[in-house]
Structure 1
Amino acid sequence: MAKTFDYLNKVLRASQAGWASPSLLLRYAIIVVAIGGISFAYAFSAGWVGWPVHRAPLSATRVVNAFESVTGPHPGFRRNHAKGICVTGRFESNGAGAALSRAHVFAPGVIPVVGRFSVPGTNPTVGDGESRLRSFALRLAVPDGEEWRMAMNSAPIFSVRTPDEFVAELAAHRVDKGTGKPDPARIAAFEEQHPEARAFRDWTRAHPASSGFDNAAYYSVSAFRFVKADGTSHYVRWSMVPEAAYQPVEAMQRRDPDFLAHRLVKTLGSGPLRWHLVLAVAQPGDAINDATRVWPQTSNRERIDAGTLVIDRAEAQIDGPCRNIDFDPLILPAGIEPSADPLLAARSATYMESFYRRMSEEVRYASKR
């Protein structure tokens, strides 16, 4: 899949450079044709087509439709994490991660990074104070041509275990047209049937949202299989641990609907921000394929600080470097493999469907100009 997206990104860059035609519409059309031409291969590699009927996973179309039903469609924006800001920087690997994986990203050295901070949700105009979570997506461009893409949240667990349950959860949180808010009774009924969703809600209430993007820790949520050069492997969950001290969001901040981006830009004006990539190794009894279950914070768990992420620049998502990046968590370098967590394949195909829709919408918008 990394090679497929390498090709797509080349087409995107080439079309933006204008090699095909001076016509903006034609350049957008080339993008859509390229996406359409690889969509089947992408879905097949993610396990979403070519399955027997009794094993077929939930379609990406249905998941994205469920996102759109929450607050209505917002053309041109991501179907989840619609509101965000691009960032760039570097990852300074200290070489310690090589104890768990042969991925070149863990060799000592510096790797350029493009990322995106965001808040969960489908509405690009939502006030920052309404979210209990922060999200952080990254693309690490490894020197050998491979990539490692991450999509992390500020909670170490997810609210449901399967894609079907996630669609049901989105339906439960659908905004009522009369009140402009979700129906509490409908949410309560869903949580009654899915106690893991209630546990997730309780976790977020016990851990108030951070006052900024810069002082939150971010988690892989799902486990991944790290493979060493000799073929031995371990399951790992990772986190980005900030050097900035955590502070909960304050009531005064909530008055500014865009305080997260404003704080980020202001803070970067004083210097770069840093996080440490910490790899936590699974122990016997840890949930490998269930993102709703937290790994206990045992004192004897192996943890490796693999290096420092440095972010030194922020740009608007409308034309910033993260604009056309699909932060698919299954785009992995050799030496890192997905677990059997059912959410991973679902997220991969759903991200692609969202990407395809917003690129298509840009073509339609350009055609009317």
Structure 2
Amino acid sequence: MSSESETHSASGAPSERSDGRETLYISPAEEAVDEMERVSGIHPGYRRAHARGFCCRASFLPSGKAAPFTTAPHLQEHEVKAIVRFSGSSTDPALADLLSPAKGMAVQFLLPEGGRSTLVGVTVPVFFARTPESFMEMLTTLNRTKTGRMPKSEALRRFARHFGESRQSLLALKRLKPPASYATNLYYCIHVYFLVDEEGRRRPVKFEWIPDSGVQTLSIHDAAAMPDDYLEREMELRLQAHPPSFKLSIVFGEEGDPTDDPTKRWPSNRRRIDAGRLVLLEPIPEPHGLIMDPTSITEGIALSDDPILNFRRDTYAESLKRRSGGH
């Protein structure tokens, strides 16, 4: 994934681990998590990205409008329970909310027959890398430049090579303002999925969580005056006063809309339906071993050919293994 000799793990050559050990083979998932650990160090017990989070118990009431397009049990007519986790995007759990611009909202639907299905949303509509290879090159370039192991001229050359795919994500990040609340963000599930109906017909879709309270932001000046964990504190008070809620919007793709590129947006005039309403009920401690894997889905929903989406399964599992082991 990188031209640096110590990271030729995909070929089976010796590869340097973050702990200095040498091994004959490092899987792409292990390599990715190693690089994420190098961003801000290892924080035992925490995720390697979106490290600090705030969990809620929730209830999702489907509208039934998605039922003709999918057999997914949580998109029919009956209410289902859910766990929601809000987070910043940083690898550092101690980083102030203000300093982690993009926020996340992951929803795990607890299905009637005991299964689970997960949607992961963020406050930017696209990802910054099109493939796992470009993701890794940008991450390793950042880490090696930071530690002085790569000249800035070489780093600029590498980042310039990926500017075309990362441009929309960087522009979206630049436009972000500090949120007034986790409950007042629009969250985009940036990957494409397929809804699968009873006849097996597949329709490409994207999901968005739209806050019923509307999008509300703070000025930089006002956000800077807030406590480092102001978003968690605000949510605790908000949940006591009135249950916040979100609408689940399903956006249908048309012929020619990319299904394998998370760095590209679909046109804004695509058909939408209101698939249901998610109500946040009360804060809860984060369940042990909770993993918000966006590839964990139920029948009636299928993964697209997005390489970043499919890469997440093994990297999430590797992150869980390390934090569960106390690392």
Superposition TM-score tier, normalisation by shorter sequence: 0.7 to 0.9
Instruction: Determine the C-alpha separation between the residues in 2 that align with 1:323 and 1:303.
Output: 36
Quick check: 2:194–2:205 contact (8 Å CA) kept in 1?
A: yes
Please point out which of 121, 133, 157 is paired with 2:102.
133
1:309-344 Cα distance to aligned partner (Å, 9 max, x none)? 0002123xxxx1444211111111100010010011
Please point out which of 225, 242, 265 is paired with 1:271.
242
SS in 2 for 1:344: helix
Instruction: Determine the C-alpha separation between the residues in 2 that align with 1:322 and 1:114.
Output: 9
Q: Counterpart of 2:61?
A: 92
Q: Counterpart of 2:230?
A: 259
Please point out which of 160, 183, 187 is paired with 2:129.
160
Q: Counterpart of 1:313?
A: 282
Q: Counterpart of 1:215?
A: 184
Once structures 1 and 2 are overlaid, which stretch shifts more, 218-227 or 240-249?
A: 240-249
Q: Counterpart of 1:48?
A: none
Please point out which of 131, 139, 146 is paired with 1:176.
146
Instruction: Determine the C-alpha separation between the residues in 1 that align with 2:218 and 2:154.
Output: 28
Q: CA deviation at 1:238?
A: 0.5
Question: Equivalent pairs: percent with the same residue?
Answer: 27
One-letter identity of the residue aligned with 1:328: D
Q: 1:58 to 1:155 in 2, by over 3 A?
A: farther
SS in 2 for 1:221: strand
Q: CA deviation at 1:236?
A: 0.5
Instruction: Determine the C-alpha separation between the residues in 2 that align with 1:324 and 1:97.
Output: 31
Q: 1:322 to 1:116 in 2, by over 3 A?
A: farther
SS in 1 for 2:261: coil
Quick check: 2:178–2:223 contact (8 Å CA) kept in 1?
A: no
One-letter identity of the residue aligned with 2:218: V
Quick check: 2:194–2:204 contact (8 Å CA) kept in 1?
A: yes
Q: Counterpart of 2:255?
A: 284
Instruction: Determine the C-alpha separation between the residues in 2 that align with 1:343 and 1:211.
Output: 30
Q: CA deviation at 1:231?
A: 1.3
Please point out which of 313, 316, 319 is paired with 1:348.
313
One-letter identity of the residue aligned with 1:230: E
SS in 2 for 1:252: helix
Structure 2, unaligned stretches of length 5 or more?
1-9, 13-25
Instruction: Determine the C-alpha separation between the residues in 1 that align with 2:260 and 2:232.
Output: 34
Q: Does 1:81 align with 2:50?
A: yes
Q: 1:332 to 1:202 in 2, by over 3 A?
A: same
One-letter identity of the residue aligned with 1:254: A
Instruction: Determine the C-alpha separation between the residues in 1 that align with 2:125 and 2:176.
Output: 11
Q: How many residues align?
A: 300
Q: Counterpart of 2:15?
A: none
- Superposed, 1:142-153 pairs within 5 Å as 142-153=111-122
Quick check: 1:58–1:163 contact (8 Å CA) kept in 2?
A: no
Quick check: 1:116–1:322 contact (8 Å CA) kept in 2?
A: no
1:173-218 Cα distance to aligned partner (Å, 9 max, x none)? 338369xxxx987765443111222321112212434222110011
Structure 1, unaligned stretches of length 5 or more?
1-50, 363-369
SS in 1 for 2:312: helix
SS in 2 for 1:265: helix
Normalising by the residue count of structure 1, what TM-score does the alignment of the two structures yield? 0.76
Q: 1:136 to 1:186 in 2, by over 3 A?
A: farther
* Larger relative helix fraction: 1
One-letter identity of the residue aligned with 2:73: H
Instruction: Determine the C-alpha separation between the residues in 2 that align with 1:189 and 1:71.
Output: 24
Q: Does 1:326 align with 2:291?
A: yes
Q: 1:101 to 1:258 in 2, by over 3 A?
A: same
Q: CA deviation at 1:52?
A: 11
1:100-153 Cα distance to aligned partner (Å, 9 max, x none)? 211111111210111210011210000110122110111101112221112211
1:276-330 Cα distance to aligned partner (Å, 9 max, x none)? 00000001221111000011101xx221101000002123xxxx14442111111
Please point out which of 303, 313, 316 is paired with 1:338.
303
Q: CA deviation at 1:225?
A: 0.9
1:249-294 Cα distance to aligned partner (Å, 9 max, x none)? 3222233211111111111121101100000000122111100001
Quick check: 1:191–1:198 contact (8 Å CA) kept in 2?
A: no
Normalising by the residue count of structure 2, what TM-score does the alignment of the two structures yield? 0.86
Quick check: 1:128–1:254 contact (8 Å CA) kept in 2?
A: no
Q: Does 1:194 align with 2:165?
A: no
Q: 1:245 to 1:190 in 2, by over 3 A?
A: farther
One-letter identity of the residue aligned with 1:334: E
Structure 1 segments (4+ residues) deviating >6 Å:
183-187
Q: CA deviation at 1:87?
A: 1.0
SS in 2 for 1:116: strand
Instruction: Determine the C-alpha separation between the residues in 1 that align with 2:217 and 2:277.
Output: 24
